[in-house]
Structure 1
């Protein structure tokens, strides 16, 4: 694990001649703001108790290592890369039980994929002596990468799920140190008809129901959504209403190329889904889906995230098309709904105004649990952006990073 010297982003005092305009003011000049950028908070923002001042941990997985950001008293400090030259496809920040643990799914071109964990907010990392995720010999396959790391709800405080390629779900009961294959999903009768998506045959999303530890929803590319209500003993496809535009039968029982799912924080039966063409909402825990893409410049994309506390609020980053994977209308904009998809508004204050070509991948859009919520995204141009006010305004945290593959954030105080 290699380290470069820490880089610090400081917040200049109000009235500083060196600081850029206020967060809610004019659009800043387009220049990379890391390292050496000085930020100042507007009077409106600074007067809010938590806006941009809550301590936050930010983890950014890239094609060539992991970068860690810490915001303390309004000042960002970033360090890295950890796991130098390893692609970090998955991250989790497990804050359950007051014992924060970071998990990272990294892939070495020499040693292969592994799951690392840190109990000191990313200062040091440990890799188990035996591989944490291993396919049993009878499967005749091996781990290619870990696409998702997901701490389960409070009812299962030690449980972590790992979604992997080639299409296997694993469960840990020791906070991510060892995992076992969930055999019922691996042996599902439909599996022989699953096909790899563009990124491979991957279980890339895991959603757990905070009311019921036995209720788990996963998304598989390209097989669609599957649900269990008995702790993984049995699974059923749950794709009613979701199109597979690339198949002769566009409404199959399974086979959709679902890109991401995000759960509503208030209505636990409500889910948001970004599909390979199509944006959907479920109000019955995934049993059926309704198209909510009207009002977006494109309903193709990879990422979707829900607000951590406000019901009906979700975020997307629309992409032009599957054959033209750049931001819709060549503009860098996050779109937000505040009414569960009945309408959408673009969020672009502080984002680049010129034509933009940075694609945001499925796990590269994230929120923290501060108040107001922080919203973050990174792109394949190596740019990292943050909002400290629910997405109303943005600042660039970093540029010239390797491809950003995943982003996770959590309030730490």
Structure 2
């Protein structure tokens, strides 16, 4: 089913799939109530899983994972049977052309495009690069417009590496794509990826000589409003921001939060101007404020925030990484996240209460959730 904006929605008979990628393997869980799960795994034990996508387009469920083996290196694998079997191209799904002199280090992001662009899947990688697949994520081609950008030599590595960690194709316009990277900031293409321009006006960079440079910001994650594609939200290395004009300018909306640092930001799949963040105390401590984990939600575009802690364990000294959180498309919306301490939480009421569904895993790197038809 689709809502008025074209986003996939879920009905009451849906099976809920939860995918959890960690430093050592992948867990896949199914549930009827988003509280009690049956998990399989670990899949790919001893491989790091920094990125996952659940692609439910074209009437089937394909799970795509960016995995990184210390022995075999990084690649993208996919399963069409909920992890019973996995396939990957013999020569790798993502391979740098010889003239680049580069090799793939990590797949930070896998992003299926909208339902009316079947087969198209995007990837963001390390070294900082964007890739496009037209065969459902089996093979990817390097976006030369971003790779050959004159700013590329000045993009640095964040604490976790040089990451193109967000790729957001616009559902309203196939030629508009946003990318966020650490470090480099937000870039936008309006010609399908042929060229890219920095779009960081208003986003801070306190670690640089100029607080708001044209580029170089360490934007941790961006997300798009479901009903207003021109509205974007960003969690920065200091600052939470909203843009009402496709990233041309940004306003800080962190007032009312206990900290303006964090890694993840999520937007509501059906309702405008609703977003979630999980604040972290910066910079050196990097734990939840006062050691108390809390999810904060705005329902008015950042004018105000509400804190939710019901079901979250205390004390908590572990952070939630940028892709270790996700929402589904059910009603009410489910919210899911995992910590670097290996606890995974699930909420079936838009983040107002949580239950732990997995514990004592390796560091949780990526969480994805979706309703599927069995």
Same fold per TM (> 0.5)? yes
Q: Does 1:158 align with 2:122?
A: no
* Matched residue, 1:59: 19
Q: Distance in 1 between matches of 2:330 and 2:371?
A: 5
Q: Distance in 2 between matches of 1:90 and 1:252?
A: 29
SS of residue in 1 equivalent to 2:203: coil
Deviation at 1:283, TM superposition (A): 0.6
Deviation at 1:286, TM superposition (A): 1.0
Number of residue pairs matched by the alignment = 363
* Matched residue, 1:394: 354
* Matched residue, 1:255: 216
Tell me if the contact between 1:241 and 1:251 (Cα under 8 Å) persists in the aligned partners. yes
Q: Distance in 2 between matches of 1:402 and 1:199?
A: 16
Q: Distance in 2 between matches of 1:66 and 1:355?
A: 26
Instruction: List, as ranges, runs of 4+ consecutive aligned residues in structure 1 with deviation greater than 4 Å.
Output: none
Q: Does 1:369 align with 2:329?
A: yes
Q: Cα 1:73–1:383, aligned 2, differ >3 Å: closer, same or farther? A: closer
Q: Distance in 2 between matches of 1:237 and 1:254?
A: 6
Of 238, 248, 252, 1:291 maps to 252
Q: Distance in 1 between matches of 2:107 and 2:62?
A: 17
Tell me if the contact between 1:238 and 1:287 (Cα under 8 Å) persists in the aligned partners. yes
Of 93, 102, 105, 1:132 maps to 93
Counterparts of 1:264-303 in structure 2 under 5 Å? 264-303=225-264
Counterparts of 1:204-353 in structure 2 under 5 Å? 204-352=165-313
Q: Does 1:174 align with 2:140?
A: no
Q: Does 1:407 align with 2:364?
A: no
Q: Does 1:123 align with 2:68?
A: no
Structure label with greater radius of gyration: 1
Residue ranges of structure 1 left out of the alignment (5+ in a row): 1-48
SS of residue in 2 equivalent to 1:184: helix
Deviation at 1:140, TM superposition (A): 1.0
1:77-99 Cα distance to aligned partner (Å, 9 max, x none): 11100001100000001111212
Of 109, 119, 123, 1:148 maps to 109
Q: Distance in 2 between matches of 1:279 and 1:397?
A: 29
SS of residue in 1 equivalent to 2:266: strand
Deviation at 1:60, TM superposition (A): 0.3
Q: Distance in 2 between matches of 1:376 and 1:300?
A: 20
Tell me if the contact between 1:62 and 1:87 (Cα under 8 Å) persists in the aligned partners. yes
* Matched residue, 2:6: none
Root mean square deviation of aligned Cα: 1.4
Deviation at 1:120, TM superposition (A): 1.3
TM-score, normalization: structure 1?
0.86
